Structure 1
Amino acid sequence: MTTGQSKANHCSESKEKDGEYERIREKARNRLKKLAKHKEPHVAWHTCVGPQVRWGTQEMLWPVSPRAMQGSATPRICALSTPKKDFQAGTVHYNRPMYYYSSGRASVIWSVSEGAKEGAATERVESLAQPKAFHGDLHEHKPQFFYSCGRVTPIWPVSRGAMGSNERPRTTTLAGHRPYHADFKDERPIQSVVSAAARTTRPNEHISSLAMPKKRSEGPFRAPQWPVSDQVKTSVATGHCVELACSKPLAEGFQHAKEVEWPISKGAKRAQASGRIIELAQPISRASMDHLQFNPNAFTVKESALKGVIPGRIEDLAVPMNR
């Protein structure tokens, strides 16, 4: 197989692949167009749902024929239309009102019959009605549940001797309220009370002088400019005054901030760029995607390539593998 034949086969295979891809893309586009359309109602004469019905009206879906109105129901329809049997009918509590004297549950309060009122309790009911007895070894010193809510009451009858007895000093001490601490001091009122002596006292001379407002002269004030004498004008400052008047020098090696804009020298303006700089300044030129994707000479074989000789190694590799 020559190089030209292999390239021709490769060209035909690539064209077949491109055609297959184009058919797949066309099929996908048609599918997307079909899915993009709105759903159409598939209503036919055998699937018709009848006329359009508006909710809230008393109109029927479709008129009933006179023959259907005169027809009789089948035994099956009669059996299905029979209501469910009420097994409570005929009982004592039939139609007994629910939620009567209750909180959302079936009531346990209802009228009692005369026979139930005259009946007598059985021995079992009487034994169950008896309260729970105390233990045999229990010894009570005072009655339980007396003036209390299920606990031992602190109220019991007091004897006459206890009522007529005198108080002991210890009892009087215990009956008194708890005393305050020895260092306790009551809170001070918000407004302090001024004594009568402070109200009638007279301030001394020092307090009166301190209470007087500061005296400020009403003028005339000194003018903003005043004459300077000739002697002061001709005076010479001493060396120490000159040294103190000098500003603080900058640190050694200090450099001022560089200006944002600085003048360009004439030599820099007249300078000529070298060939290398011009070459580097040229922008990178790239072909457009249209030219890169469409190349009419992509599968053209050069004449020199057609005249070339394929090495033996290439011919061995070009032979298909037998499986």
Structure 2
Amino acid sequence: MSLASYSASRKNHLDSLARPKVNFNKQQDRPSVYWVDKIPSVSTCGTSQRQEDLAKPKKVITINEDRPSPIWPVSSSALSAVPSGRVQNLAQPKKTSQEWKEDRPAYSTVSEGAKKASASPRTTQLAKPKHRATCSLPGTPNSHQESGKESARSIKSAPTARTEALAVPKVEHPEYQHDLSVVRPVPSSALHTQATDRVCQLAKPSPRKIVSDVHDPYRISPAAKHAEASPRIQELCTPPARRQRAKKM
């Protein structure tokens, strides 16, 4: 291969690589599908008169019929009007409460007496932190572990005989029977027992009449047709007087 042909093939390959990729998601114009002699002209989109009217900005009305001018004339009666006592009372601003106090400043001033004050022995004793051992139980002071002497609090909190009696767990009742085990042997008397005639009679299912296809559930017996209601049934069937209404003719 000559140098000229190699350079030409390399140039064609670079041109093919430089072409952008085709976007298949974008709809492309395919004039061959129209089956016409020439490519149809692309119609330009235009706006209608209504769209042009809507696109125009709203006009600012400078002159209002109700307020033709920002300077309103004041009538002579309004100039010479005198407010009543009620109007003057309502026009006065609200006064602050007598118990209202301003917020304290962020940097409060310390009085000279507080600067020269000395703490009492009791305050110094309460200000000391409690020393607790790392391995001590919660709520147990370190002084209890270091000294073998019992404090007055531990002596007062000692359990009494009544407390120890109540702390004893309850014992099961002597006649209490535990649940039977799931797998238990069956006694021989239960294996060789025989059911009585009454048990066999109760074990039988209740007989039910077989409903045939010829059976009509809506058939009324002749005895029901000639039956007459008793006076008591007629009395119970009669609605109360408050619910009886005269029939409109």
TM-score by length of 1: 0.23
Higher relative contact order (CA 8 A, sep 6+): 1
TM-score by length of 2: 0.27
